[in-house]
Structure 1
């Protein structure tokens, strides 16, 4: 099965983010019903997470060994605080929300969880996860260069900061990739409520099994962070 380790923000944090996304989409004013669902795939709110380490395909027996080591990783680390903050786009297609707070503790947890994969599977997550992020949307491959209705033009939006609308956003062209970039600009100053990270999870991901072709996620094990002695 395909596995990864992740921190799942609590429901109030995810609800606050959803409100900011709704406001930013409304302010951008270009998410036409005939393009949005087909061109952009939104991550289901219940599946949004901060990836700690990615393991890929893992044999059933190795999954148990991996869970045992991750439990030790969690036991030796104290809870820490994070908040969702800022936004950006990877490769003109993936809209993400960043995070602030004790990002050093997050990076240390990611390193240890990646090492666990190396110990059990003989391979380590090659991506350095020093900057935690939460993916909220992806432009489908065929829609990356697709112009929107009406071709070019100018469009106004608004930045979102804790639910407040800020100065306008402009773009010279329209289309899914441009819309996602405008949303990232609008959400660049977003800051969500902080929370205590007290656990992380080992998650199984079944590609294409979720709504609209999204992955379906299932929590395999959850690990509570323990106070560090001394």
Structure 2
């Protein structure tokens, strides 16, 4: 069994923009747990513990789900906070153009469930890019205020990636498979 999730990873140039905006804040606020840049991503679906026996079907279904969605333009924007599982505070950047992203996330999650992986449907999808997780009761609003005007450049998200979580310490995410967006459309066009 492996703890897994499916995500989008912004390109290096966008990650560098985020790093430039966040570095002074990391230095000024050493208390919260800052997500390491190597682990930055936009989660599409958290799958939890995935049995090894479902991996082949999972790969097939995730590829099919991703292939049904065209690449999409995205950008990271204004920061916000929410309280996550167990009362942990989370600082995040919003995702601009989240409508199509929510549809992609829904398809990915449905494909995973059909393969016997993934979590039951619950809360609506909320696109975000996590920067900080902090202990219960920590007020992250000053950090969100400091990033309130942040806007990254737009990029075209063209693939979803399946990751395995290695809980560590240190926490590490390993990319194990990538699924191109729009691949099914491209294949059907070339078959004509």
Q: TM-score range by the shorter chain?
A: 0.7 to 0.9
Give 1:24 shift: 4.5
Determine which of 88, 95, 98 is the counterpart of 2:94: 98
Give 1:127 shift: 3.0
Give 1:89 shift: 1.1
> C-alpha separation between the residues in 1 aligned to 2:44 and 2:54?
18
Alpha-carbon distance change, 8 to 210 in structure 1, aligned in 2, over 3 angstroms: farther
Q: Give the TM-score of the pair, scaled to structure 2.
A: 0.85
**Corresponding residue pairs, total:** 180
> C-alpha separation between the residues in 2 aligned to 1:210 and 1:68?
31
- Note if contact 2:62-2:112 (Cα within 8 Å) is conserved in structure 1: no
- Note if contact 1:55-1:125 (Cα within 8 Å) is conserved in structure 2: no
Q: Does 1:86 align with 2:78?
A: yes
> C-alpha separation between the residues in 1 aligned to 2:32 and 2:57?
37
Q: Give the TM-score of the pair, scaled to structure 1.
A: 0.72
Alpha-carbon distance change, 206 to 125 in structure 1, aligned in 2, over 3 angstroms: farther
Determine which of 127, 134, 137 is the counterpart of 1:132: 127
Give 1:22 shift: 2.5
Partner-residue secondary structure (3-state), 2:160: strand
- Note if contact 1:117-1:125 (Cα within 8 Å) is conserved in structure 2: no
Residue in 2 that maps onto 1:226: 182
Q: Does 1:53 align with 2:45?
A: yes
> C-alpha separation between the residues in 2 aligned to 1:84 and 1:23?
18
CA-based RMSD: 2.0
Residue in 2 that maps onto 1:186: 146
> C-alpha separation between the residues in 1 aligned to 2:73 and 2:105?
15
> C-alpha separation between the residues in 1 aligned to 2:158 and 2:169?
27
Q: How does 1:26-175 map to 2 (within 5 A)?
A: 31=29, 36=30, 39-91=31-83, 93-101=89-97, 103-121=98-116, 123-129=119-125, 131-141=126-136, 144=137
Deviations 1:92-122 (A, max 9, x none): 7111111102x22101101101111221227
Residue in 2 that maps onto 1:203: 163
> C-alpha separation between the residues in 1 aligned to 2:72 and 2:65?
14
Partner-residue secondary structure (3-state), 1:56: strand
- Note if contact 1:25-1:183 (Cα within 8 Å) is conserved in structure 2: no
Greater per-residue strand proportion: 2
Structure 1, gaps ≥5 residues long: 145-176
**Higher Cα radius of gyration:** 1
Deviations 1:193-226 (A, max 9, x none): 110000010111122x143xxx211111101112
